[in-house]
Amino acid sequence: MDISDLITPDGVICPLKVTSKKQALQALAKRAAVVTGLDDRVIFDTLLERERLGSTGVGNGIAIPHGRLVGLSRLHGVFACLARPIHFDAVDDQPVDLMFLLLAPELAGADHLKALARVSRLLRDRAMCEKLRGADGPDGVYGLLTSQRASQAA
């Protein structure tokens, strides 16, 4: 599975102008609703429920909010470059400016975990993250996320 199996050009928001974790999750849920056809409130509630278990801010300015939803037939992703970093309760207590939302079918099992691992590996690459931060708009970001090197890193 490549990153291009998870995300479409419509699933990239760059720049995303928000000032809080809640606003960021709401914006991602709204875009995910467009991409998946599900209700944005259901997606947002699922993300909040997951965040209550522990922050999905994984450090180095990156968050990977995720959840499982009834009604999905496959994995979906939404990526956002934030205009300004926000506090996200990340494990390293640093603000977040790159977010990759991953949504999986309720019974995805190992596929969900494999996709999380792929996204995590991609975003652990500091050079890739710097390129994403400097990319020119959603098309540039999508190109970087789905490039051959990104696919191999994932």
Q: Catalytic site residues?
A: 66
Q: Within a 13 Å sphere around the CA of 83, how many CA atoms are in the beta-carbon half?
A: 8
Contact 122, 150 (CB under 8 A): yes
CA quadruple 16, 17, 22, 27: dihedral sign: negative
Q: What are the residues whose beta carbons fall under 8 Å from the beta carbon of 109, sequence distance 6 or more?
A: none
